[in-house]
């Protein structure tokens, strides 16, 4: 029996049971029946969470682009693979069929080869949401190059850090990008970043906004003339299952961003299988995920998962507010979108605009709605359900992470029930556990704890690029023989999971993971700043916003505090990007610390969240007196 497409509740339980009782048999069947292999595996799974080392489908060979493109050519050659909707609604939509995608990926792959890119080389992609982004990702995968996409909202410093960390030889970018009514000078950012990146040999530039840019002789070239000349077929590189597919950076609670390494076969199998079931994709559906391919959601559920299923996937270049806040609904109406997957922060921003803009459009094509990236609050859930889904489209609140590669806890529409603010049940093959602070598993229902996963799943990240020890320390050391997610969760009386948020120093702002350390480092670069600490506080659109406590070197008297605030935010924008800017900056006489010198963020978090009534015993602090001062001056 094929378990590829789950259609009702009983079937979910049956298949789930099978997948955890005998994972190897289960995943072998899925892999065998639904994908194209150049050579079959010798062993389905070997794993050791102590090392940690995880290998799926060892011994097999494949190419993920053959699975995502070539194998559809016979049956779906003229079907739209990528439906590109530009920033400007006046510009025509582009329908890229599977046949055209094949040709464009092949040409791009040949260009990469002609520039000396070989299997295993890292290519950094810093492109806006234009077709070249998806095509270049696939072109890398076709020749076995490892892509590392950096979201094109990151600053030059953030970009150069990532390029150097993965030692990329090449950067792909564009002359600029559109973002609503604005344009962004991406090539300028790349030029600045590359001043610190001696390893980059070439930069290929896609033309998008027709702006005047600098082209550095011997390094930079326009992409289009190279594509025009390139041969339109490119044989696949045959890859081993555990060969690296991509590196994608995510924030850690301390230090450098972590380059999560995903490998080929397990990632393909799991993203394809989750896509099919979580979105209940059917042949003529038009699926739209509003994420950017610069994030994991875009990798797994704009590019690989949908294309592996021969789906039509929408790629939207713009923003939800341009030309007005009806743009998402306009696109749903125009293309008869059937599955719509977005983030709670977008839902909250749109809900704020009222329902008139939604009602203007025909949304009757919608069948499934999705949410991802942060907890969805009750109000946003109901607004989404009533106004967008008209109470007939189930909402899949999907919990997962850059590290997990694919969706981990989620309802399966029309099979498992939904419940506002709950990600509900583990997906097939996923074995969650809630742990207490002493490292013991908390069994039973109506409990909460730290969310871990007990058993490997195919798309889990295999390491942190260049730092396996950090991978082990971050994910496999807190709890023995468990993958630790960094999130807290509760399990209700029937066993549904609700994610309660991060339990480490990662803060999720508008669905973006931000580590406190790099932001504090940026603040501390200001010559007047002695030290700083940032925490999250609740925000009605962003979910969390950032609150900075900053101690100046002198008393700060006579200084224009607003100016310092502006300068601090400018530093953050330069070092990381505008997404990490602080909403509030409070100047303090000191920061509360333990006797060993650790900043008590818990106290700062409570004060920033207007919850300073019950701070607990602060008498053991090194400097309890600063707490009152901070409370008195809270913003
Ligand atoms: O805290 C969880 C939150 O986002 C974190 C992962 O962020 P990132 O690696 O950027 O991936 C985001 C897209 C998959 C998680 O540790 N998170 C993600 N989805 C949810 C969520 N929190 C609550 N509910 C969700 N559905």
Q: How far is the CA of 315 from the centre of ligand 1 (A)?
A: 21
370 touches ligand 1 (CB under 6 Å)? no
Ordered domains of the chain (ranges, CATH): 9-319+399-489 (3.40.50.12780), 506-633 (3.30.300.30)
CB 284 within 8 A of CB 309: no
296 lines ligand 1 (CB under 6 A): yes
Please provide the DSSP assignment of 43-79 as one string: EEEEEETTTTEEEEEET-EE-HHHHHTGGGHHHHTTS
For the purposes of burial, counting CB atoms within 10 Å of the CB of 164, is it exposed (0-12), middle (13-18) or buried (19 or more)? middle
> Does ligand 1 come within 6 angstroms of the Cβ of 373?
yes
Q: How far is the CA of 564 from the centre of ligand 1 (A)?
A: 33
Interval between CA 215 and ligand 1 midpoint (Å) = 38
153 lines ligand 1 (CB under 6 A): no
Structure token digits, residue 261: 């390494």
Q: What token pair was written down for 600?
A: 């008590």
Burial class (CB in 10 A: 0-12, 13-18, 19+), 276: buried
Complete DSSP assignment for 361-409: S--TT--EEEEESSPPPHHHHHHIIIIISTTTS-EEEEB--TTT-S--B
Helix 625-632 to helix 601-608 angle (10° resolution) is: 20
In this prediction, the residues of the chain whose per-residue pLDDT falls under 70 are: 1-2, 555-557
Q: Is the CB of residue 161 less than 8 Å from the CB of residue 128?
A: no
Q: Is 400 in the pocket of ligand 1 (CB under 6 A)?
A: yes
Atom 5 (ligand 1) nearest CA = 401
Q: What is the pLDDT of residue 554?
A: 79
Q: Is 294 touching ligand 1 by the criterion CB < 6 Å? A: no
pLDDT of residue 556: 61
Q: Which of 373, 381, 406, 488 to mutate to test the pocket of ligand 1 (most atoms within 8 A of CB)?
A: 373
Between the CA of 502 and the centroid of ligand 1 the distance, in Å, is 9
Nearest CA, atom 3, ligand 1: 374
Is residue 252 lining ligand 1, measured as CB closer than 6 Å? no
Task: Say how many Å lie between the first and final Cα of the chain, rounded.
Answer: 61
Whether 397 lines ligand 1, by a CB cut-off of 6 Å, is: yes
Q: Is 297 in the pocket of ligand 1 (CB under 6 A)?
A: yes
Peptide bond into 270 cis (omega under 30): no
The response to whether residue 399 sits with its C-beta less than 6 Å from ligand 1 reads yes
CA-nearest residue, atom 22 of ligand 1: 374
Look at residue 518 in the predicted model and tell me its pLDDT: 87
| pLDDT on residue 617 | 79
Task: Say how far residue 48 (Cα) sits from the centre of its chain.
Answer: 26
Report whether residue 487 contacts ligand 1, using a CB cutoff of 6 Å: yes
Centre of ligand 1 to C-alpha 344, Å, is 11
CA of 423 to the centre of ligand 1 (A): 11
For residue 346, the model assigns a pLDDT of 95
Report CA(373)–ligand 1 centroid distance (Å).
Answer: 4
Gap between the Cα atoms of 635 and 632, Å rounded: 9
Q: Is 423 in the pocket of ligand 1 (CB under 6 A)?
A: yes
For residue 400, the CA-to-ligand 1 centroid distance in Å is: 5
Sign of the CA dihedral 212, 215, 220, 225? positive
| Token representation of residue 5 | 């497409």
Shortest-distance Cα residue to atom 12 of ligand 1:
373
C-beta 251 within 6 A of ligand 1: no
| Predicted confidence (pLDDT) per residue in 211-265, tens digit | 999 999 999 999 999 999 999 999 999 999 999 999 999 987 777 899 999 999 9
pLDDT reported for residue 596: 77
Indicate which residue's Cα is closest to atom 24 of ligand 1.
Answer: 375
Å from CA of 247 to ligand 1 middle? 18
Using CA atoms, how far residue 57 sits from 25, 42, 268, 470, in Å, is: 12, 7, 11, 25
Atom number in ligand 1 closest to CA 485: 16
CA 503 to ligand 1 center in whole angstroms: 12
Q: For ligand 1, is residue 132 a contact (CB within 6 Å)?
A: no
């Amino acid at each position: 029996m094929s378990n590829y497409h789950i259609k009702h509740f009983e079937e979910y339980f049956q298949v789930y049971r099978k997948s955890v009782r005998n994972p190897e048999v289960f995943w072998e069947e899925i892999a065998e029946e639904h994908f194209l292999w150049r050579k079959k595996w010798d062993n389905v799974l070997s794993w050791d969470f102590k090392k940690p080392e995880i290998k799926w489908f060892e011994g097999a060979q494949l190419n993920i682009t053959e699975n995502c493109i070539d194998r559809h050519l016979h049956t779906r050659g003229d079907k739209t693979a990528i439906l590109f909707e530009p920033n400007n609604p006046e510009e025509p939509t582009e329908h890229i069929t599977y046949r055209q995608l094949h040709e464009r990926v092949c040409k791009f792959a040949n260009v990469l080869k002609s520039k000396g890119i070989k299997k295993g080389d890292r290519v950094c992609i810093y492109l806006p949401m234009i077709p070249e982004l998806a095509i270049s990702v696939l072109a890398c995968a076709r020749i076995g190059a490892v892509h590392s996409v950096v979201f094109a909202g990151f600053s030059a410093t953030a970009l150069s850090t990532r390029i150097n960390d993965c030692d990329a030889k090449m950067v792909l970018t564009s002359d600029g990008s559109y973002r609503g009514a604005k344009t962004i000078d991406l090539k300028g950012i790349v030029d600045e970043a590359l001043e610190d990146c001696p390893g980059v040999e070439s930069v290929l530039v896609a033309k998008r906004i027709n702006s005047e840019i600098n082209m550095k002789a011997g390094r930079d070239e326009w992409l289009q003339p190279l594509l025009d000349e390139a041969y339109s077929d490119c044989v696949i590189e045959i890859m081993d299952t555990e060969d690296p597919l991509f590196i994608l950076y995510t924030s850690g609670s301390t230090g450098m961003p972590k380059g999560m390494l995903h490998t080929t076969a397990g990632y393909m199998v799991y993203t394809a299988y989750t896509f099919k079931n979580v979105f209940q994709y059917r042949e003529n559906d038009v699926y739209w995920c509003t994420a950017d391919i610069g994030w994991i959601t875009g990798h797994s559920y704009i590019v690989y998962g949908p294309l592996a299923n021969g789906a039509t996937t929408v790629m939207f270049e713009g923003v939800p507010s341009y030309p007005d806040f009806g743009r998402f609904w306009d696109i749903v109406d125009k293309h008869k979108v059937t599955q719509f997957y977005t983030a709670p922060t977008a839902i909250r921003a749109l809900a704020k605009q009222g329902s008139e803009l939604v009602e203007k459009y025909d949304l009757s094509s919608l069948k499934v709605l999705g949410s991802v990236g942060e907890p969805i609050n009750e109000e946003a859930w109901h607004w989404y359900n009533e106004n967008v889904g008209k109470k007939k489209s189930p909402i899949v609140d999907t919990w997962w992470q850059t590290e997990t590669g694919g969706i981990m806890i989620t309802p399966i529409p029309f099979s498992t029930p939904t419940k506002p603010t709950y990600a509900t049940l583990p997906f097939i093959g996923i074995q969650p556990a809630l742990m207490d602070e002493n490292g013991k598993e908390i069994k039973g229902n109506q409990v909460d704890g730290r969310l871990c996963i007990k058993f490997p799943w195919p798309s889990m990240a295999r390491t942190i690029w260049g730092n396996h020890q950090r991978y082990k320390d971050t994910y496999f050391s807190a709890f023995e023989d468990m993958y630790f997610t960094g999130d807290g969760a509760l399990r209700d009386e029937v066993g549904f999971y609700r994610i309660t948020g991060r339990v480490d120093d990662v803060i999720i702002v508008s669905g973006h993971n931000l580590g406190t350390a790099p932001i504090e480092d940026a603040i501390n670069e200001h010559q007047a700043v002695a030290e700083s600490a940032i925490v999250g506080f609740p925000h009605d659109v962003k979910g969390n916003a950032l609150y900075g406590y900053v101690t100046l070197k002198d008393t700060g008297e006579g200084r224009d505090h607003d100016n310092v605030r502006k300068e601090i935010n400018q530093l953050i924008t330069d070092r990381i990007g505008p997404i990490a800017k602080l909403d509030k900056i409070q100047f303090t006489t000191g920061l509360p610390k333990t006797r060993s010198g650790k900043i008590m963020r818990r106290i700062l978090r409570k004060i920033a969240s207007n919850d300073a009534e019950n701070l607990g015993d602060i008498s053991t602090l090194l400097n309890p007196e600063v707490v009152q001062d901070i409370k008195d001056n809270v913003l």
